[in-house]
């Protein structure tokens, strides 16, 4: 059972220097209106339509494939089978055999073409999050006391199915602590399931403090800080949870019911919860994310928020949010070497890999 501290808000305990509190040293918890810590926000992209967004991803993917020789193309292209779709992990390469092409196997031009695909599919925040996660792995390579091979260019690209404006196809990009599954069908697209993680969970880069999943951590802490004692008891899971449950290899499975129903929250608390959910939808480009955001807002009363952890600094924490169209999990803890790590998963249980999209 968590030990809840009213004296020190959870936000202040969880957040590192990358997520300094905005406006005051400690978030307010009066009337359920916890203050959300400020995280860096990328400049918004120019508005676009779903047709334009899908066309941009298709064009970028075809341009990348056109740059490959026959051997590279054979490595990166595969059938869109259930087995291939499920072949991803957040483990390092020594612990999981990936398929496709790794970035360090490509020259600069081809690497740029890979990132052009991601830029076209993701929002500026989503793309920045990918870059921050891969950068973290390069830092881990220098800091970790392990024989495992880490690196910012140890990430793989794979295309399942034939890129098309009418058929369903998927781009997979991933490596240690990252597994992006982008599926398109016509003008529709989804990022479900996608695993977001980082180790270290925060780091310094060119004098700036970086925390790849700052918003996902800060906004969850704000939700917890907004809860009354009675609500916290309802939100707390009965058993400790140290790892995400529905990660790699868990397709088609569901989490048990648990947590506090959003319908019992105040309007201010619902706003905080919806802001947290938005963090998981907005990595997708704005044109594709708009309908998902509208549905999440419409059905917020049906969502549940569950928490497991200890409010003491440095202790592991876990949360999950479940709505009619999405499942979210995040686990934040320190490994044995003392380097903090965060792992999370975003799923759309009825629409993973675009199950509900098109043909």
CA atoms within a 13 Å half-sphere pointing along the CA-CB vector of 127: 17
Identify whether the C-beta of residue 340 lies closer than 8 Å to the C-beta of residue 177.
Answer: no
Which residues, listed in sequence order, are joined to residue 50 by a DSSP beta bridge? none
User: Stretch 221-241: mean pLDDT, rounded?
Assistant: 94
Q: Which segments of the chain are extended strands (E)?
A: 77-78, 101-102, 155-160, 168-175, 178-185, 188-190, 194-198, 203-205, 208-210, 260-261, 304-309, 317-322, 327-334, 340-347
For residue 25, is pLDDT > 70?
Answer: no
Q: How far apart are CA 245 and CA 232, in angstroms?
A: 22
| 147-180 tens-digit pLDDT | 677 889 999 999 999 999 999 999 999 999 999 9
Confidence of residue 36 (pLDDT cuts 50, 70, 90): low
Output the six-digit token pair for 59: 């064009």
What average pLDDT does range 117-127 have in this prediction?
97
pLDDT for res 7: 33
pLDDT at 71: 98
pLDDT, tens digit (0-9, with 9 covering 90-100), for 52-102 = 999 999 999 999 999 999 999 999 999 999 999 999 999 999 999 999 999
Query: Which tens digits make up the pLDDT trace of 249-292?
Result: 999 999 988 999 999 999 999 999 999 999 999 999 999 999 99
Q: How far apart are CA 29 and CA 32, in angstroms?
A: 5
Positive or negative: CA dihedral 102, 42, 278, 218? positive
Phi, psi (degrees; rounded to nearest 5) at 19: -125, 65
Query: Tell me: the pLDDT tens digits for 128-153?
Result: 999 999 999 988 887 766 667 788 99
Cα–Cα distance measured from residue 202 to residue 19, given in angstroms and rounded to the nearest whole number: 10
pTM of the model: 0.89
Minimum mean pLDDT among 17-26, 181-190, 222-231, 337-346: which range?
A: 17-26
Res. 40: pLDDT tops 50: yes
pLDDT tens, position by position, 283-315: 999 999 999 999 999 999 999 999 998 655 567
pLDDT of residue 141: 82
Tell me what pLDDT residue 13 has.
47
**328 closest CA partner among 194, 174, 238:** 194
- Give me 65's structure tokens: 């494939």
For the chain, percent of residues with pLDDT exceeding 70: 84
The CA distance from 329 to 240, in Å, is 14
DSSP sequence for 126-185 = HHHHHHHHHHHHHHHHHH--SS----TT-EEEEEES---SSSEEEEEEEETTEEEEEEEE
For the chain, what are the domain ranges?
Answer: 10-22+206-354, 50-203
Given this model, what pLDDT does residue 16 score? 42
User: What was the pLDDT predicted at 242?
Assistant: 87
For position 316, what pLDDT does the model report? 83
pLDDT of amino acid 165: 96
* Across 15-29, 66-80, 313-327, least confident range: 15-29
The pLDDT, as a whole number, for residue 73 is 98
User: Over the chain, what is the mean pLDDT?
Assistant: 87
């Amino acid at each position: 059972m968590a030990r809840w501290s009213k004296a020190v808000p959870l936000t202040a305990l969880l957040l590192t220097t990358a997520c300094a509190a905005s406006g005051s040293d400690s978030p307010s918890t009066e009337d359920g209106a916890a203050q959300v810590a400020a995280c860096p926000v990328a400049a918004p992209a120019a508005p676009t339509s779903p047709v334009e967004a899908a066309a941009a991803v298709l064009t970028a993917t075809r341009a990348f494939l056109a740059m490959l020789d026959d051997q590279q193309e054979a490595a990166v292209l595969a059938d869109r089978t259930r087995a291939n779709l499920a072949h991803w992990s957040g483990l390092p390469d020594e612990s999981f055999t990936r398929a496709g092409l790794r970035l360090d196997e490509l020259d600069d031009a081809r690497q740029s073409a890979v990132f052009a695909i991601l830029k076209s599919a993701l929002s500026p925040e989503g793309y920045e999050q990918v870059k921050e996660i891969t950068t973290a792995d390069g830092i881990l390579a220098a800091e970790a006391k392990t024989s495992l091979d880490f690196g910012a260019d140890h990430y793989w690209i794979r295309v399942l199915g034939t890129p098309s404006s009418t058929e369903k196809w998927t781009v997979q990009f991933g490596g240690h602590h990252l597994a992006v599954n982008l599926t398109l069908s016509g003008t529709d697209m989804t990022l479900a399931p996608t695993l977001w993680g980082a180790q270290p969970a925060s780091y310094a880069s060119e004098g700036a403090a970086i925390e790849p999943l700052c918003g996902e951590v800060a906004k969850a802490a704000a939700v917890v800080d907004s809860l009354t004692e009675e609500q916290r008891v309802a939100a707390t899971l009965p058993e400790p949870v140290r790892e995400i449950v529905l990660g790699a290899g868990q397709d088609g499975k569901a989490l048990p019911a648990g947590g506090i129903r959003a319908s019992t929250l105040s309007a201010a608390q619902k706003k905080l919860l919806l802001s947290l959910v938005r963090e998981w939808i907005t990595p997708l480009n704005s044109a594709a994310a708009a309908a998902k955001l509208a549905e999440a807002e419409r059905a917020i009363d049906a969502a549940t928020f569950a928490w497991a952890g200890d409010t003491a600094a440095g202790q592991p924490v876990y949360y999950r949010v479940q709505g009619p169209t999405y499942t979210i999990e995040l686990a934040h803890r320190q490994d044995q070497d003392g380097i903090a790590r965060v792992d999370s998963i975003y799923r759309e249980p009825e629409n993973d890999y675009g199950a509900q999209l098109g043909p």
